Amino acid sequence: MLHVRTVAAVVMLAGLGSAVTGAAEPGSGPAAPVVEAPAKASEAGAGPRAGAELIGKPPPALTVAKWVKGEPVTAFAPGVVYVVDLWATWCGPCRAAIPHLTTLQAKHPEKLRVIGVSISERQKEPGDTSYIQTVEGFVAKMGEKMNYAVAVDTPEKAVHTAWFKPAGTGGIPTAWIIDQRGLVAWVGIGTPSEVERIAEAVLAGTFDPAAEAKRAAELEATAAERAAEARERAKAREQETDRRFPGYRDAMAKGDTAGALAALDAAFAADPSLEAGAAYQWKIMLLLQRNKPDEIKAYAKELLARYPENGDVQGFLSACLVSTAEESRFDAEINALALRAAEVSLATANADSRWQQVALWRMGWAKYHAGRLTEAAEHIRQARANITRLKGTIDFGNLDSDCAEAEAVIAGAIGASGEGK
């Protein structure tokens, strides 16, 4: 059975209203916070109203199910600044913030404490605690890359109720910064640059809540203007989509994947340039959603034949088809097609780019599934070496830890098979 990858689901949503431009880059994560529940109108965004009433007051009690790393925090000690980061293992932006929080903690080992509290982990049923093991496994795998105190919310969601909801951000990561007096200095979306900027100011004694509120209000006004402009652009794109792909959006709105595919095919036949322009991504997503291997194979072969040297097309195709050890494997024929697409993606990637290291990571997994274990290990080794060499000039997010995981799996497979002896 085909496994519909996370990247597929993300781009599928994007395809509902507008064209997707360029190939998706795995591992980059969304730029915006993950909205974990529909926010009320007054909670939308992290503007100056979000959590404003909390500033200057003591924070709520920190009641957790378990401390999985570091010394438990039973009280906020005077003279110490605390950064309380509310996150989840499934949240891409949360994971991307982890290296930055580790760096911030290392920079101020005595005067600042970072506390990551995992909230909103998936529970099988009310009262289920298996999510705690999920968080423990994640933190253990991160090792020193997540080098600060980490706790897990209770099954009854005590931290979610007392900390996340009052913050009013509507998404994670959400961060609280507690000053040296044990009072809330700032609450908002935990964007690394913002958290670092404000934490440094609080540490230096130069943070001005009133000035920050004014700054936030100005940013919110600017954001509102941009949002209005974005809505207008989205409306124009929808109109353009209706013109170039008649019937596509209507079919998608109804959940009619066969009708949406027919609309795309008709548009491609009328104007072949539409396909390579990015709409091929919509078709791949639809085929993955339909979960019919023969359809995927047929279209993958078409794309490989029509665009044999197009790095964007093949990069996106490989992003969707290359499996990792944690994902259900495609059959051998689809794995072979994924490998061919990955080869083109790697060959066309710019040297010393983030994309090149992602392509090497995908090649490693593609060759792992092809049984070419020694070659797979070499691709992953090369990616890790490049990431180490380029560190500081490119933000690779969690790609190095992803490569480390792949390296361990492939090394285990090599050991079990005896290959390379």
* 391-401 pLDDT per residue, tens: 889 999 889 98
| Greatest distance between any 2 Cα atoms in the chain | 70
β-pair type (174-178, 184-189):
antiparallel
At residue 270 the predicted structure's pLDDT band, cuts being 50, 70 and 90, is very high
Statement: residue 323 has pLDDT above 90: no
Selected from 3.40.30.10, 3.90.650.10, 3.40.50.300, 3.40.50.970, the CATH number assigned to the domain covering 31-207 reads 3.40.30.10
The pLDDT score that the predictor gives to residue 47 is: 41
The pLDDT score that the predictor gives to residue 332 is: 87
The pLDDT score that the predictor gives to residue 49 is: 52
At residue 224 the predicted structure's pLDDT band, cuts being 50, 70 and 90, is confident
Residue predicted with more confidence, 215 or 175: 175
Statement: residue 414 has pLDDT above 80: yes
Statement: residue 6 has pLDDT above 80: no
Percent with pLDDT over 70 in the chain: 86
Which residues are within 8 A (CB) of 10 and not within 5 positions of it... i.e. 6 or more apart? 24, 30
Alpha helix positions (H), 275-331:
280-290, 293-306, 311-321
The pLDDT score that the predictor gives to residue 324 is: 85
Single pTM value for the model: 0.55
At residue 329 the predicted structure's pLDDT band, cuts being 50, 70 and 90, is low
The pLDDT score that the predictor gives to residue 107 is: 97
The pLDDT score that the predictor gives to residue 38 is: 34
Indicate the average pLDDT of the chain. Answer: 86
The pLDDT score that the predictor gives to residue 302 is: 96
d(CA 398, CA 381): 16
Statement: residue 23 has pLDDT above 80: no
Burial readout 143-165 (b: 16 or more C-beta within 10 A, e: otherwise):
eeebbbbbbbbbbebbbbeebbe
Mean pLDDT of 23-41: 39
**What amino acid is encoded at 51 in this protein?**
G
Mean pLDDT of 227-249: 91
The pLDDT score that the predictor gives to residue 325 is: 77
* 343-353 pLDDT per residue, tens: 999 999 999 99
Which residues are within 8 A (CB) of 21 and not within 5 positions of it... i.e. 6 or more apart? 278
d(CA 22, CA 44): 29
- DSSP for 224-275 reads HHHHHHHHHHHHHHHHHHHHHSTTHHHHHHHT-HHHHHHHHHHHHHH-THHI
At residue 37 the predicted structure's pLDDT band, cuts being 50, 70 and 90, is very low
Mean pLDDT of 122-143: 92
Which residues are within 8 A (CB) of 150 and not within 5 positions of it... i.e. 6 or more apart? 67, 68, 69, 70, 115, 116, 117, 118, 135, 139
Which residues are within 8 A (CB) of 315 and not within 5 positions of it... i.e. 6 or more apart? 23, 25, 341, 344, 345, 348, 349, 355, 359
Secondary structure of the chain: what % helix, strand, coil (to 5)? 55, 10, 35
The pLDDT score that the predictor gives to residue 34 is: 53
